[in-house]
Amino acid sequence: MATQQPTAAPVLRPSPPDRDDRSRRTSRSEGLSPGAAAWVQAGFLVLIAAISLVPLVAIFVGTFQDGNEVIRRGMTFDVDLGGLSLDNYVLLFTDSGPYFRWFANTFLLTVVQVVGTLLVSSFVAYGFAMYDFKGKTLGFIMVLLVMTVPFEMLMLPLYVQVNDMGLADTYTVIVLPFLASAVTIFFFRQYFLGIPKELLEAGRVDGVTEFGIFFRIVLPITKPAMAAMAILNGMITWNNFLWPLLVLRSPEKFTLPIGLNTLLTPYGNNYELLIIGAFFSLIPILILFLAFQRFFIQGMTAGAVKG
């Protein structure tokens, strides 16, 4: 008669600690509770933010000071409170000359440049990411090569071409050469590679055109990428100085960076308008970032890892 072999008792192994437990134990081993560690981290981030805001606060204080005094002593927080006044603000809004014309020119160019660059560059990147065609790899290699070439090397031949075409002293020549931005194309391509092609096939099955697929299916998915590139291209266009300086010749067509630069001449310097004008030139960029900040980190992260 066969005897039943006794079964071995199950061995109980402790489950591995999760990440939160490990972080708590690490914090305790370092002498910090989780709450204290969070406060230390928050305090460090606040300190970094405060250091980053020092130049902005300094130029804001400078808008209430005499311009010659600011240039002589530099940007400092050691100011005489009795010497602060609103004279610079009165000057800006009553006797600033063509300042607001320069501001409007720059704002218009920035809007057109950003919208055009996002549209054209996303089209090019969409083709590289979603379609197979002859010369695709070579074309993308050319895009990467353009990213490595400094603009200063392209500036002279581009300037000669602009003069030969009779486009000098026009806003068209400022916008047109940079609609297909190599950096923006590369970023969008990496983002598009993370979108399943099954979505495109489903759209084609439903009878949606290729442009309809892009605008109705793909474009809503790419809002984070669009926001990130809108901020980047907006900052570049708003602060663009060298190329507009070369091609613009009429003072009424000057952009804000060029106009502010004309305030410093060998015959007289308008430091008051220069300081407060520079401060007000920061406002559109701050508004642009605040408007798209909730998409910015998500878009930059996704574009960096997808594909």
DSSP sequence for 41-91: HHHHHHHHHHHHHHHHHHHHHHTTS-HHHHHHH-S-S---GGG--SHHHHH
If asked whether residues 157 and 212 sit together in one domain, one would say yes
pLDDT given at position 111? 94
The single-letter code of the amino acid at 15 is: S
Q: What are the tens digits of pLDDT across the range 50-76?
A: 888 888 888 888 888 887 777 777 777
Q: State the residue for tokens 């981030």.
A: 45
State the Cα–Cα distance between residues 137 and 256, nearest whole angstrom: 40
Q: Residue 159: name the closest of 54, 94, 274, 243 by CA.
A: 243
pTM of the model: 0.77
Q: What are the tens digits of pLDDT across the range 268-303?
A: 678 888 888 988 998 888 888 888 777 766 655 554
Q: Judge whether 17 lies within some domain.
A: no
State the Cα–Cα distance between residues 250 and 253, nearest whole angstrom: 5
The β-bridge partners of 268 are 265
If asked whether residues 49 and 128 sit together in one domain, one would say no
Q: Which domain holds residue 152?
A: 97-305
If asked whether residues 142 and 70 sit together in one domain, one would say no
Say what the alpha-carbon torsion angle 209, 213, 214, 215 is, to the nearest 10 degrees: 90
Neighbours of 185 (CB within 10 A): 25
CATH number at residue 293: 1.10.3720.10
Q: How many structural domains is the chain composed of?
A: 2
Indicate the pLDDT class of residue 33, thresholds 50, 70 and 90. confident
Supply the mean pLDDT for the chain: 82
Are 118 and 271 in contact by the 8 Å Cβ rule? The answer is no
What are the angstrom distances between the C-alpha of 272 and each of 55, 97, 228, 238, 290? 17, 13, 34, 22, 28
If asked whether residues 177 and 39 sit together in one domain, one would say no
Q: What are the tens digits of pLDDT across the range 154-164?
A: 888 999 988 88
If asked whether residues 47 and 170 sit together in one domain, one would say no
